[in-house]
Amino acid sequence: MPGSAAAAAPKGDYPRSLRMLELAKKRLVGLDIGFHSIKILVMSGRQKQQNVERLLLVPTGNTPAMSEQEREQRVSGLLQSVRKELGLKFRSVHSMIPGRAVFYRPLRIPVVTGDRLEKIVRYEAKQQIPFAVDQVLLDYHIFGGSGGELEGVLFAVRRDTIAQHVRLLGKAGLRPDVIDVSTIGLFNATRAMPREPGEVIGIVNIGATTTDIVIEHEHTLKFSRSAPVAGNDITLALQNRLERSFEECEDLKVRFGRLSSSSEPSPEALPPEWAPAIDPPGLVEALDNAFERVVTEIRRSVDYYISQPDGMAVSRILVSGGTSALPGTLEFLEDRLGIPTERIDLTACSPVDLAEVITPETAHSALVVCGLGVPDSLDHRVTMNFIPESIQQKKEFEQKRSYIVIQAIFLALLVGMAVMYVKKQLQFREQVYEHVDAVNTIDDRLGKELKEVRLEQEEMRKRFKMLQEIAERRGKIMENLLEIVRVTPTSYVSITSINIEHDRMLIKGRASGDLGVKAFM
């Protein structure tokens, strides 16, 4: 539930770079889809200095006999054609839904802020809106407060109504950035209107299917209503009386219609095709009777407001809308309501500079769409937006996309630098591995040579040991032989042979007698 307050609110938690991007030059296209015409407002410039490029009225050719689907197809086709023929390459639009599709309730709540304000507004919505909260989209605006209370307005619209509006725009290749309400557009479009201190002003826009009525006091919206009676009902009243087509009766009303209060002279006669059915006085009478229904709805709205605890007498009424072009409208309303009535001067009351684009055709019908072009920063502007959450999220993402792109580029640079660093580390590691492999190769070659040397040393050691053993054995033999020679009595014994076999020594000899043998032994 977005909500808004009279005091300037922070832009949110967007980065400063993104807030700077919001100031860049951009185009705003406002769209008010009416029954008989589509009003298109094209503006360009910076956020606080936008200029009106075009203000268009595109006739739809709709009739009450058409089905809703037929009217949607006609409108979407016209929007596509206008974009193509005029070279308007827009896709995002600020559009609005009729006030009759919206539930309005005034708010008087304790002075709270933040989450508590949201909770209280949601609680008030549950108590006052005749639908479950999850079936509607809510928005509100707080004007200020006194005496320990905040004063504001609460609006709610069914989700299926918004879905139908989004679908209509989608058929034309459009996507809403803002979905506003016709009564709020009417209020916003008159913020530059000259006013006296303390004035209570009623602003009335009489269209084809509804009559929007708002009442304000000191730039505070006090009352809002869309009455289901307007220009088409006047035409249908003629059709029922004359039994002609809607298109013929509409043409008769526009070309020759006037109310009895008009100061313009009445035509002496109507075209021949109408002469048998109705004459000029009869046409005036028929239009007066039909217009009385419009007056009744306006009177009911004014009386209801006055009957409220904070209601006050309405000082004057300002009128606009295509049906208000009917001669005698202002005088008729003033006479029936007893309240001074004026026609709204678009160039004087709108904060949007329309001097270069306003035409007699758009002067009566373009007030509501001009409310979409009023900057958000303007004092006393009521900001409403009923776009679905899915579109809101996508819009927020697109608003942050430039910042995200910058972050992505920065992240890509970091990743690139990290990859380069890792690559260098891998190259260094590869070099180390190559060096280690080279060392290991050298070690392997030296190891083989060392092994061979060790084998040779072992062989030499074995040979040396063997020679040592032989030498030791020979030394012992020599010692034995010398000992034999020393102990042998040469007078009695003579040694004939000595045979050495491993650990035995066989001595053979001769003795001259037993005495000699005994002497040797």
Residue 367 shares a structural domain with residue 417:
no
Which pair of tokens denotes residue 470?
């032989």
Separation CA 225–CA 198 (nearest Å): 22
Query: Does residue 404 sit within a domain?
Result: no
pTM over 0.75: no
Note whether 252 and 324 are same-domain residues: yes
Pairing of strands 26-33, 37-46: antiparallel
Strand ranges inside 98-256, DSSP E: 102-110, 136-146, 149-158, 175-181, 200-206, 211-217, 220-227
Residue 383 resides in a domain: yes
Q: What is the span of the domain harbouring residue 274?
A: 194-343
Within a domain: 392? no
Pair 2, 76 in one domain? yes
Same domain membership, residue 454 and residue 364: no
264, 218: one domain: yes
Rounded CA separation 151/237 (Å) = 41
Residues 133 and 201 in one domain: no
**Residue 4 sits in a domain of what CATH number?**
3.30.420.380
Give the dihedral of Cα atoms 326, 327, 330, 335; nearest 10 deg.
-110
Residue among 23, 17, 37 at smallest CA distance from 82: 37
Say if residue 63 is in the same domain as residue 160.
Answer: yes
Q: What is the CATH number of the domain that holds 283?
A: 3.30.420.40
Residue 396 resides in a domain? no
* Any domain includes 393: no
Question: What are phi and psi for residue 374, nearest 5 degrees?
Answer: -75, 125
- Do the bridges between strand 211-217 and strand 220-227 make them parallel or antiparallel, or are there none, so unpaired? antiparallel
360 and 250 within one domain: no
Q: Domain check: are 426 and 477 in the same one?
A: yes
Q: Give domain status of residue 452, yes or no.
A: yes
What's the DSSP call for residue 458? Answer: H
Please give the Cα distance from 226 to 383 (Å, whole number): 19
Q: Do 35 and 95 lie in a common domain?
A: yes
Domain-located, residue 229? yes
Q: Closest Cα to residue 103, out of 147, 136, 148, 142?
A: 136
Using CB atoms within 10 A of its CB, is residue 264 exposed (0-12), middle (13-18) or buried (19+)? exposed
**Residue 395 belongs to a domain:** no
Chain centroid offset of residue 147 CA? 38
pLDDT per residue of the chain (521 residues) written in tens, 0 to 9:
666 554 333 333 333 333 333 334 467 889 999 999 999 988 887 655 678 888 889 999 999 999 999 999 999 999 999 888 877 777 889 999 999 999 999 998 888 888 898 899 899 888 888 888 889 999 999 998 777 889 999 999 999 999 999 999 999 989 999 999 999 999 998 888 888 999 999 999 999 999 999 999 999 999 999 999 999 999 999 999 999 999 999 999 999 999 999 988 878 788 888 988 899 999 999 999 999 999 999 999 999 999 999 899 999 999 999 999 999 999 999 999 999 999 998 888 777 778 778 887 788 888 898 888 888 777 788 988 998 888 878 777 766 766 777 877 887 788 788 888 878 877 887 787 777 767 666 666 666 777 777 787 777 777 767 777 776 766 676 677 667 767 666 665 666 777 766 667 777 777 666 655 665 56
Give me the number of domains the chain comprises.
4
Looking at the structure, tell me whether residues 332 and 452 fall in a common domain: no
Residues 338 and 469 in one domain: no
**CB 428: neighbour CB atoms within 10 A?**
10
Domain boundary among 287, 322, 343: 343
Q: How far apart are CA 214 and CA 189, in angstroms?
A: 12
